[in-house]
Structures are given as structure tokens and as C-alpha cells.
Structure 1
Amino acid sequence: MTVSDPVVESVVATISRSATEITQGLIGRRGAVDEENPSGETQMEADVWADELLGERLAAIDGVGQYASEERPEAIDCGEDPDSSDAYAVAVDPLDGSSNLKSNNAMGTIFGVYDAALPAPGEDLIAAGYVLYGPITTMVIATEETVSEYEMTGGERRLIERDVTLPDEPVVYGFGGRVPDWPADFESYAREIENELKLRYGGAMIADVNQVLTYGGVFAYPSLESSPEGKLRLQFEGNPIGYIVERAGGRSSNGDESLLSVEPDALHDRTPVHVGNADLIDRLEETLE
């Protein structure tokens, strides 16, 4: 499959070519740096390095007006007018799950291409995707037409499945946050789900979402008593993942509405994230009401 929009194809190709380099570059960068990202989280050496690598390459693409990252306080202008109808904005989580570096577990890179200046609602996305650094490096790309999965090798991608859709019969679930920190209504929902599905939770959202996309089910990082606004970032995580799951026939929700409908106030807004098979998200919204 070739992405029809040339700018989106350039973004996807750039991330594809960078994926192998990122996996190799993790070696020797497993420690923390004496800095925090804009969300107040300790940055790993690999976070900063992957952000600099992707930022330099994506910002150089003709037609990209802004590059924004979970690791930077503000979006950077890339030579194109970000408000121009001909310029896209690219939002990236360079290394989702970087806390897994210490234990050498799965991680990923998440990206969204917005046809609007950031911050922007998910309805302005024209493409989104992620790279999963697992036993095999894979890439999932969602556009307005379809969702496709690729295997990655040597900087190239090979199509392994076109028109990816969530299986009708859900199998797995994964819920983030400490259980004592869950609101009572979400805990009630979780107790129902854990009697129906198999637990799959690895500490990197992208790996857990990939399980849901593969087997069907639900992933959630809910509102917490200590963080009512949620933990995950709307621009960099919630919107791209919501876009992918919805294009694959599922649903996304912040607890009240589709993640793609949420109007952001700031670049680093947080949000509760719930994605998966439509009936499971419907049930969740009914429980949270």
C-alpha cells in the first residue's frame, strides 16, 4: 500500500527509515537525564535522542509546518506557515514506554499528522500510526481510507495486512494506573471485564493497544483520583491511537465522547483514554455515567 498524500507518505517513509536506527540507538541510552519533559516526567537519554532524531528529519519535509513532541514544551515551526492550508502539523511521542528500557520490554513511536495548527482536535487528523519495537519491529498506519500493518526491516516496510479491523470477539484487556487510584465507577467496570477477558498489560501503551488491535478487547488509562484529567497526552497519544482504533472499526472515548471530538486547550493537555471494541466502550461510558 502506498499512502496517497505525498506529505503523509514522506512522514511515514521518514519514520520507517528511522525505526531501525532508533532500535539500534537505544543501546547505551537506557539511563535517565537530569531533566523532565513538559508533563513533569523524568526523561530518559533515549527519549531526548529519539526526539532530536525525528524532529530534525520530520521538520525538513516540504509541507510540514509544525513539529511537536511530548518531549518539547512547544511546537516548532518548520519553515511552512503552520496555518496554511498546504501545511501539516506532525505530533510525535518519540519513545512511548521508555520506562520499559530498564527491563528491556516493548516500546514504540506514535505519530499523528494534523491538517491544522497545533493544538488541534483529533478530527483534524488525516493520518496516524505507530511503530512497535517488539520481537519484530512493526508499523501500523491509519489513513482516511484504511488501516494497514507492516513488518519493518532495513528501513523498509513490507505489507503484511491490509484493511486491519478489530476482531468481533474480544479477547484481551489492559488497564493502566494503580488500582487504589481508580475512581469507583471505573473499578466497577474493570471488575466486570476481568471476568470476561484475558489480562494483557506491559507498561507501554502502544504494545497494549497493539494487543487489542490484534485480538480484540479494550485498553484504558482512566481518570485517576490523583489525576482527574488523566495521564496520557491528547495530541501525542490519545488522538493518534483513537484515530487508528476508530478507523479499524472500534471506538475511542475520554469517558464521555470520542477522543477525536475533544477540543484541546493546550499542546500538552492530558486525557483519559479508552479504546477498543465498540460494545466494550459503550458499556464503559454507561458505567461512568
Structure 2
Amino acid sequence: MTDGDPVDEVIEVIAQSATEIRRGLVGRREDADAENPSGETQAEADVYADELLADRISSIDGVCQYGSEERQETIDCGDEDGLSVGVDPLDGSSNLKSNNTMGTVFGIYDEPLPAPGTALVASGWILYGPITTMACARDGTVRKYELAGDERSLVDDGITLPDDPLVYGFGGRVPDWSEAFEAFAREVESDDSLKLRYGGAMIGDVNQVLTYGGIFAYPALEDAPRGKLRLQFEGNPIAYLVEAAGGSSSDGSGSILEIEPDDLHDRVPVHVGNDELIDRLEDALE
């Protein structure tokens, strides 16, 4: 690894690894004989993507810590005062068997994990769609790239959420939603200007919101009051990027980025999208 800005190097390593991760999905669609720290069955591809990223990111000068949804503890990378990188190596791996959209999510923090979203200096995601793309937020600017082999081509700079929202997608089982969230969801569904877009891989659904405007939510559930998504590896990175694109994030009462974590694998209700929709959501959940 050549000397340089470690934030740039982390982003470049993740971008360059995307092609291998995508190629490595072939033959790794079955479940591994293991669970992640959240008690979810790992796919063989989860383990593969995590090991590949851990090896490459931990070798970057200026990175002190690697944390992943797939491992209980962080890896000490040896640079005591460096950056911490939190990763969901393969978001939506349950879509492997049906061959639907998946992604990789990352956050780069300037504090040890677990850290609040205010400690992020960059975040982003890879989307393994018909085209492999990367959305990345840094210094208040969101950019989108197309990835092919080792090439990263800029296709959009200074991305902001469209003013007129178009899509919505809500996760979790409807019977497990709170009454307040269900009432909000029914109100959104009754708006003829909004279209349902929900594919079961969070990053694909959030990318729809980034592209078309709207709202994505994986709310608090009756049996999971802190929701399903992980704060360090999903909630914070997504919130950081959406807010950099001019949108809002919320755990139901305020910005996700303001949450002080207690544990590496803390969960959080995630609601992101256009300001007006997030304001309406918070009013509904009061």
C-alpha cells in the first residue's frame, strides 16, 4: 500500500475489492455453519467478504481498528492513533439464494469503535446491482461511481436527494410495528405520488431513496424495540451519507448521528429520507 491519505486509501481498497466480492458470491450461496454476533445465520459469502476486507483494510497505514457485523470483537490493526473502519461486508446476504440485490456498507471513524456518527469522516456503500456502483460521502459531498475491475469512474458529483420524493420502503413484519408507525406508514401509502420500493436488502432500498427521493425505514418493532439494523455498521454510515446529500436521519426522535453507543453491536431504528417526510415521521412517533 502506498503512502497517502488513509481515508482515500480505505475508500479505494473497498472499491477495488468490490469486483472480487461480487465474483466470490458464486459458489458461496449456502449458509455457513456459524452465526454472527447478532445471532443471525451467516452465509458463506458473508464470511468470505468479511475476511477479504479485514485483511486488506487492516494493512492500511493509518488504520487502527477494523470492526464488522460478522465478528464479535474489533481487530487491532497496530496504528494506535489511526482511523477505525466499521463494515457490513455483505448487506442483504439473505438475497443470495434468490439472486437479488446486495451491498457492502462502510463507515470511517476518527474515534475508536464503538463511536457516535459524529465521529465519521466518510461513509458509503457498494451496490451489487446490474451495475456495481459506489456511493460515498466525504467533506459534505456525495459522489457516485461505477466500478469495473480496478477502475472507479465518477458518474455523479454533489448528489442531493430530489426535492420531490418518489419512493418509500418499510422493513419489519407489519404485525410487529408499533401503532404509531403503522399509522404513519398507512398515511404514506395513501399518497398517490409515492411508490413502494422494497427489495429486502437495505442498501438497495436506501439507494432508491438517494436516487429518487423519499423515505426508507426499518423501525422499532414490538419484539425489537431498538430495531434490527446495527448502529456502527449500517445506521451511522447510512445516516451520514443521506444527511450529506441534504436529507435527514432519525431513530424516531432525533438524528441517528447523535446517538452515543454502548456496545459494538448496538442496534438502532433507522429512518432516512427527505426532510419533510422524516419530520412527519417524528411527529407521528412522539
SS at match of 2:66: strand
2:52: which partner in 1? 53
**Sequence identity of aligned pairs in percent?**
67
Q: Distance in 2 between matches of 1:245 and 1:136?
A: 21
In structure 2, the partner of 1:94 is: 89
- 1:283 corresponds to 2:280: yes
How far the C-alpha of 1:195 sits from its partner, in A, is 1.5
Runs of 4+ more than 2 Å apart:
none
1:209 to 200, 206, 210: 206
Report the TM-score, using the length of structure 2 for normalisation. 0.97
Shift in Å, 1:155: 2.0
Q: If the length of structure 1 is used for normalisation, what is the TM-score? A: 0.96
1:176 corresponds to 2:171: yes
Partner-residue secondary structure (3-state), 2:216 = strand
Per-residue CA distance 1:97-155 (angstroms, 9 max, x = gap): 00000000000000000000000000000000000000000000101230000011112
Q: Equivalent residue of 2:160, what SS?
A: coil
Alignment of 1:249-268 (within 5 A): 249-268=246-265
- Contact kept, 8 Å, 1:19 with 1:155, in 2: the verdict is no
1:1-289 aligned within 5 A? 6-81=5-80, 84=81, 87-196=82-191, 197-289=194-286
SS in 2 for 1:40: coil
Provide the C-alpha distance between the structure 2 equivalents of 1:152 and 1:194, rounded to a whole number of angstroms: 35
Deviations 1:19-56 (A, max 9, x none): 10111100000000111000000000000010000000
Aligned AA (1:238): G
Distance 2:46 2:269 in 1: 23
User: RMSD over aligned Cα, in angstroms?
Assistant: 0.7
Q: Deviations over 1:237-273 (max 9, x none)?
A: 0000000000000000000110000000000000000
Partner Cα distance (1:238, 1:117) in 2: 17
Unaligned runs of 5+ in 1: none
Structure 1 CA distance for aligned equivalents of residues 165 and 285 of structure 2: 21
Structure-2 separation of matches of 1:145 and 1:172: 24
TM-superposed deviation, 1:182 = 0.4
Count of matched residue positions in the alignment of Structure 1 and Structure 2: 281
